[in-house]
Amino acid sequence: MRLALAWAGLRGHGVRTLLAILGVAVAAAMLLDMVMMSTGMRESFRELLLSRGYQIRLAPKGTLPFDTDATIEGTSRIVAVLRANPDIVAVSPVLGATIHVPVGNRTVTSAALGVMAEVQGDYELLSGRDPIASNAIAVNDDFIRATGAQIGDTLEVATGYDPQLRTFAASKRLVVTGRLRFIYGAINQPATAIRLSTLQEMGGAVRTDDASLFMLKVRDGADVERIRRWIERGVPSVSAISTATAIAQVDERLSYFRQLAFILGTVSLFVGFLLVTTLVTVSVNERIGEITVMRAIGVSKAHIVQQIVMEGMVISLAGAVGGLALGLGTARYLNSILSSFPGLPMAIDFFLFQPRSAWTAMGLLTLSGVAAGVYPSFRAASLPIATTLREEAIA
């Protein structure tokens, strides 16, 4: 009965109600997007780190993986130290570099990773074979589009370009053996994988035994943080970063994003609250006479309060449902724009839909709609009946 009366009151001003629902839907969409953005990058980054089962990364002391061009010297010795720990079941050294491939009268520049194919965690093999041989190279689709190379082709690959002399430090003929998808690769970035020892050799004497990064997999049930501390004590030239510490560092760098999301989300919630409050207040003011007559014929104050609160709740619920669809659409569009930012891994999502967060946002909006109806409902239910009827009759 109360819900039917509330619905009838809203239908009496259909256009105004529809506009209010649209306004709440926009506020709900913005609130949902801010909630998704505040947690999306963090969760997306965590899933990316754990996607290949490696729980610890080693980077040059004081840096993050591939944050600088710095490398770790003495790769063979460090691998031997790490493999001596029975809790470490896989050690994957990786060397990053830039290679240059002449194609006709131009040169294609590409990222290159020196890897040990049997323990690598950087790519997925789509077709062909891993770069196991010393003269093998596996490439991604962007590299194929840039060079026109196919599996089986032989490429002249150079490293160490000197822009003043326009010469290369070293070059080697490599055979394309496979097609890859790099897990941490940026969008539209040509990338390749080469055997670690081959890329070290092409880097010259200064790169003979270097690596940019180590990825470690520990046995199930092992204490990752204890192993991380053991590495930092035993290998002082590296920073050992577990998934937990990496996420903590990312959290620190993304604190501005979260603060912005919190402020905009709070503003959205407040705007939704004001919209519903305004509409319900205006509606109640127009129906003062009707409400007073209901009181005069015996309708209780509680009934009046509940009916008006339901009006606010109906507007909020309808706006929340519309906002859910609108928010998901805008999040998908914005994510496609932000994900194309140069240098970011293509697997990173800025807006990650998480049901719990979405329902929390929608629940807060609905509660704000309920709260928005409280003041006008109590005001309407508390009006003196005789005085109000007399004023209405005179008006």
Q: What are the pLDDT digits (tens) for 177-221? A: 999 999 887 778 899 999 999 999 888 777 788 899 999 999 988
SS3 360: helix
What are the structure tokens assigned to 253, written together?
């760098």
Average pLDDT, the chain: 83
Is the pLDDT assigned to residue 106 strictly greater than 80? yes
> pLDDT digits over 31-87, tens only?
888 878 777 777 777 777 777 788 899 988 877 777 677 888 888 899 999 999 999
Binned at pLDDT 50, 70 and 90, residue 7 comes out as low
Mean pLDDT value of segment 276-304:
80
- Asked whether the whole model's pTM tops 0.85, one would answer no
Burial 223-237 (b: 16+ CB within 10 A, else e): ebeebbebbeeebee
Confidence at 9, pLDDT banded by 50, 70, 90: low
218: phi then psi, degrees, rounded to nearest 5:
-105, 160
Q: ∠ CA 270-275-277 to the nearest 5 degrees?
A: 90
Residue 153 in this model has a pLDDT that exceeds 90:
yes
Q: What is the DSSP letter of 185?
A: P
Decide: 67 and 249 in contact? Cβ < 8 Å. Answer: no
Q: Residue 242 belongs to what H/E stretch?
A: strand 238-242
Q: Is 286 left (phi over 0), alpha (psi -120 to 50) or beta?
A: alpha
Q: How confident is the model at residue 165 (pLDDT cuts 50, 70, 90)?
A: low
**Averaging pLDDT over each range in 232-246, 270-284, 330-344, which range is the top one?**
232-246
Highest mean pLDDT out of 77-81, 302-306, 366-370 = 77-81
